[in-house]
Structure 1
Amino acid sequence: MNWETLKLDIMDTGVSVLTFNRPDTMNSVNDQFCFDVQAVCKVISENDAVKVIVITGAGKGWSSGGDISMLASIEDPISAKATYDAAGELVKAIYELKKPVIAALNGVVAGASIAACLACDLIIASEKARMGFTFMQLAFCPDSGTSHFLIQKVGYHKALELLWFGKILNAEEAEKLGLLNKVVPHEECLPEAIRWAEKLAQQPLMTVGLDKKLLREAAKNNFYQQTELEAMYQVLAWSSDDFKEGCEAFAEKRRPVFKNR
């Protein structure tokens, strides 16, 4: 399935690979790109054959952020607000996916696209990947949710260091800061992300989804609120057919076959 700026490949395993497909511009973000990402996320959400999503980029980069030619052509504050709102909606579309999302970070990610990357649930990075916090070079603030994700990942002081000095992190540095999960040889980036996705697709996906909700709520809940939420979600998990299958498989010393219900 193809859009003007994207490709979507749906595999028999339940894994889908979404490719940002503007390689001539390092997959930079323009209005059409924002529209296409929102449209494809809607398709993904409504397609039961899609269990896990992997997002990668065509060419040498994952996404370089906002298309500079588009940003430079903005003529008034109203148009500027509409442009940045559209980028925010792109990130929201990825963040709001209830299914697991894995970024296969095959190269450079910079600017607003860092937010799109950090909105994913897991991040596998090529050894050639770079994270560019390059807003300051354009006298820009972080946008599209970058500051939200960044302060949760690295804290206030390190976040300001990255932003104020326009840091460009290599993959190993980003991993040490907790900005991604794993660094692999370049040629293994997408295959490893797909392996993780295929493994996830075999898990009880109802529980996977509940875990995703729990950890997001944990960032704002206190201990008492979070334990109450855990108890409620655990009752939901306990009520599922997959829990019964897990118990039976454990007793019978076999691998469980989950049906996601």
Structure 2
Amino acid sequence: MEFTTIKLEKLERRATLTLNRPASMNAMDTVMMEELAQCFEALQHETDIQILVIRGEGKVFSAGGDIKAMVDPNQPMDINAAMVCLTRIVKAYYQLPMIVIAAVHGASAGLGFSLALGADIVVACENSKLAMNFIGIGLIPDGGGHFFMKERVGNVKAKQIIWEGKVLSAREAQEVGLIDYVAPDGTVFAMADQLVGKILASPIAAMITTKKILHTQNLPILESILAMEAAGQSAMRKTTDHLEGIQAFVGKRTPVFSGK
């Protein structure tokens, strides 16, 4: 399977998925989202791959959704189609029959952070910046962001982090339980490789079976949240606050929200 915005490399029992739009900080446009959906759906049928590492090419893991694509007057993003594609991505991702490690460097924001949080293990470079920052442009988390945040930190803390939209350091994210390991600067991929080696030397079939049991039980909740995220995001895209947030982002100024 050939891709243009991601790379999938397989070696014996491991695979590496690289987000590959470095010139755009690996922001997810419609092409990348479709390719991620196809990739995860194909990986669901893998019988030899037991561990998957997700990483970003270039300076960052992922800046999130492609905001420039959202406001492109020549080819505006179809939010409803995007939500359908995101639902495909997350459902396939959550049901992968392998252990998933996210190796985060530089930055992981918005939709990119949702993707990282959906991994079984999250390793982040010490100098990375992590943010569930949809609120800054008047939107709600998507890509299963509500579900993955709730799984990691519980409802109350998830709400507070989402509402604040604060950019967290790796240490801060680890302290609240959003990520699992902090790697010294420049060593995140080496640490991920060490974890891969450790896991592959473990009774990994038992680990994957435990994952399947727990994820199968939670799948109906994820599906419900994805449906509500799709409806909520479509509604938020029509608000005055979202328009102001986008214009402020493009104009590099502080937004002035009205609650409408």
Q: TM-score, normalised by structure 2?
A: 0.76
Q: Are 2:90 and 1:91 equivalent residues in the alignment?
A: yes
Quick one: which amino acid aligns to residue 192 of structure 1?
A: M
The answer to whether the Cα contact below 8 Å between 1:26 and 1:62 also exists between their aligned partners in 2 is yes
The aligned residue for residue 209 of structure 1 is 208
The aligned residue for residue 186 of structure 2 is 187
Map 1:70-81 onto structure 2 (within 5 A): 70-73=69-72, 79-81=78-80
Map 1:214-253 onto structure 2 (within 5 A): 214-216=213-215
The aligned residue for residue 127 of structure 1 is 126
Using a 3 Å threshold, how does the CA distance of structure 1 residues 93 and 139 change in structure 2: closer, same or farther? same
- In the comparison of the two structures, how many residue pairs are matched? 220
Quick one: which amino acid aligns to residue 197 of structure 1?
A: V
Quick one: which amino acid aligns to residue 17 of structure 1?
A: T
Aligned-residue offset at 1:142: 1.3
The aligned residue for residue 69 of structure 1 is 68
CA distance in 2: counterparts of 1:129 and 1:111, whole angstroms: 14
Aligned-residue offset at 1:78: 10
Q: Alpha carbon RMSD of aligned pairs, Å? A: 2.6
The aligned residue for residue 160 of structure 1 is 159
Quick one: which amino acid aligns to residue 59 of structure 1?
A: G
Quick one: which amino acid aligns to residue 120 of structure 2?
A: D
CA distance in 2: counterparts of 1:202 and 1:122, whole angstroms: 16
SS for the counterpart of 2:61 is: strand
CA distance in 1: counterparts of 2:46 and 2:88, whole angstroms: 21
Structure 1: runs of 5 or more not aligned: 221-261
The answer to whether the Cα contact below 8 Å between 2:44 and 2:92 also exists between their aligned partners in 1 is no
Structure 2: runs of 5 or more not aligned: 220-260
Quick one: which amino acid aligns to residue 168 of structure 2?
A: L
SS for the counterpart of 1:61 is: coil
Q: Which of the pair has more CA radius of gyration?
A: 1
The answer to whether the Cα contact below 8 Å between 1:125 and 1:171 also exists between their aligned partners in 2 is yes
Map 1:135-154 onto structure 2 (within 5 A): 135-154=134-153
The answer to whether the Cα contact below 8 Å between 1:15 and 1:198 also exists between their aligned partners in 2 is no
Quick one: which amino acid aligns to residue 209 of structure 1?
A: I
The aligned residue for residue 18 of structure 1 is 17
Output one character per residue of 1:19-57: Cα deviation in whole Å (capped at 9) or x when no partner: 100111111111110111122224433343422110000
Quick one: which amino acid aligns to residue 110 of structure 2?
A: G
SS for the counterpart of 2:187 is: helix
The answer to whether the Cα contact below 8 Å between 1:87 and 1:112 also exists between their aligned partners in 2 is no
Using a 3 Å threshold, how does the CA distance of structure 1 residues 78 and 7 change in structure 2: closer, same or farther? closer
Q: TM-score, normalised by structure 1?
A: 0.76
Quick one: which amino acid aligns to residue 144 of structure 1?
A: G
The aligned residue for residue 47 of structure 2 is 48
